[in-house]
Amino acid sequence: MNKDHGFVGILVSNRIQRKNVLKQYLRFNKTNLKLFCFTPSSIMWKNKSIIGLHRSHGKWVLSKFPFPKVVYNRCYETNQELIGRLGAVIGKDKCFNHINQFDKHEIYTNLSRWLAEYLPDTVPFSTETAVHLLETHEVLYLKPSCGNKGQGVYRVEKKSAEEIQISLHYFAPTIIVRDTKQLEERMQELVGSTPYIIQRGVPIRQVKNNIFDIRALVQKNDKGLWSVTNVISRVAHKGSYNTSICENVCLTEEVLHQLYPPDRVHAVMQSVYNISLRSAEIMDENKAYHLGEFSVDLALDNEDHLWIIELNGKPQKDLYDGIRNQIAVYERPLQYAQYLHTH
């Protein structure tokens, strides 16, 4: 493998993922870059080479590669020591999305400098804080600070002075408590030692009695500039507040057209684009991150105000299967890799 190729390595968590991930990107690789897929354990630090899976003459082959010029990280919860070592060899600005498991409170703090009006109040979890906030807000969400896919997200609602409901995934309560002492005990049991945040609940617009979210995928292009590739909505199952376990996925415009006249749909979409691109600019200002893509999850409340629910550093690509602009979802990271390769 000593040809003068421009190599781009796609880092994945384990060997099982290599072929599926590489297959997705090879289909849409219009650059002159050679792609290979590798795992953290396939890096041979001593002789500065990597055992990577690639496609050669119609076959899947494992070969020894030199360290690539650019690395695209699709490995969630990446070991930052490993990323640091990789950066020391290829240049720390040549590995993008090296941090893709975001800390929700850190992201809130970053974004709130410029986008405070679109952010529900978010604070680190403590039982005392939760009890205090529940007096003011009536509905709170407890979320793992670094969680994803709605796992471990609890909804807490104060129904009356004598009834507080805690639910998981669905609005129907899994736990009902009668006073704040019971509430504190149950919350502590649920949260345990995992770092959590408390997010103020916002009343989310529904379509045909189902909750939906708005996910804007922002990606850097071949000029290293941010653009919005796609805006989709996940429609939750009836009775559920967790859009990660969704009934269907479609373009957001399709959902909005069921709620608003065309000019209003256009205005909401324009706001989604503006907020998403502003989020991207803010994330770029923080030098701890080097992102080539992420998604912005938003919700629309009953007053038609948009709220940023969270950012996702490893956008789920299969959500876009069969959706308009699906090709760009895979093309853009490769275009950005080419940009990094030549700059």
In this structure, are residues 295 and 243 in contact, taking their beta carbons and an 8 Å threshold? no
The CA-atom distances, in angstroms, between 94 and each of 69, 88, 133, 212 are: 7, 10, 43, 36
The arrangement of secondary structure in 122-200, i.e. its CATH architecture, is: 2-Layer Sandwich (3.30)
Q: What is the pLDDT of residues 46-97, one digit of tens each?
A: 989 999 999 999 999 999 999 999 999 998 876 889 988 999 999 989 999 9
The string of DSSP codes covering 206-275 is EETTEEB-EEEEEEE-TTS-EEEEEEEEEEEPTTB--TTSEEEEEEHHHHHTTTS-HHHHHHHHHHHHHH
Q: What is the pLDDT of residues 109-144, one digit of tens each?
A: 999 999 999 999 999 999 999 999 999 999 999 999
The region that residue 169 occupies, defined by phi over 0 for left and psi between -120 and 50 for alpha, beta otherwise, is left
The region that residue 77 occupies, defined by phi over 0 for left and psi between -120 and 50 for alpha, beta otherwise, is left
Whole-number Å distance between alpha carbons of 118 and 115: 6
Contacts of 75 (CB under 8 A, 6+ apart): 11, 12, 13, 39, 40, 100
> What mean pLDDT is reported for the chain?
93
In this structure, are residues 27 and 42 in contact, taking their beta carbons and an 8 Å threshold? no
Q: What φ, ψ does residue 251 adopt, rounded to 5°?
A: -65, 140
Structural domain spans, the chain: 6-96, 104-119+205-342, 122-200
Which CATH code is given to the segment(s) 104-119+205-342? Answer: 3.30.470.20
Q: What is the pLDDT of residues 194-249, one digit of tens each?
A: 999 999 999 999 999 999 999 999 999 999 999 999 999 999 999 999 988 887 89
In this structure, are residues 125 and 197 in contact, taking their beta carbons and an 8 Å threshold? yes
Outline where the chain has alpha helix (H).
15-26, 80-90, 104-115, 127-137, 180-191, 252-256, 262-285, 326-342
Whole-number Å distance between alpha carbons of 85 and 174: 46
pTM of the full predicted structure?
0.93
Q: Given this chain, do its domains 104-119+205-342 and 122-200 carry the same CATH topology?
A: no
Predicted confidence band of residue 4 (pLDDT cuts 50, 70, 90):
very low
Whole-number Å distance between alpha carbons of 272 and 214: 8
Predicted confidence band of residue 1 (pLDDT cuts 50, 70, 90):
very low
Provide the percentage of residues in the chain whose pLDDT is more than 90. 85
Q: What is the pLDDT of residues 261-273, one digit of tens each?
A: 999 999 999 999 9
Q: What is the pLDDT of residues 249-304, one digit of tens each?
A: 999 999 999 999 999 999 999 999 999 999 999 999 998 999 999 999 999 999 99
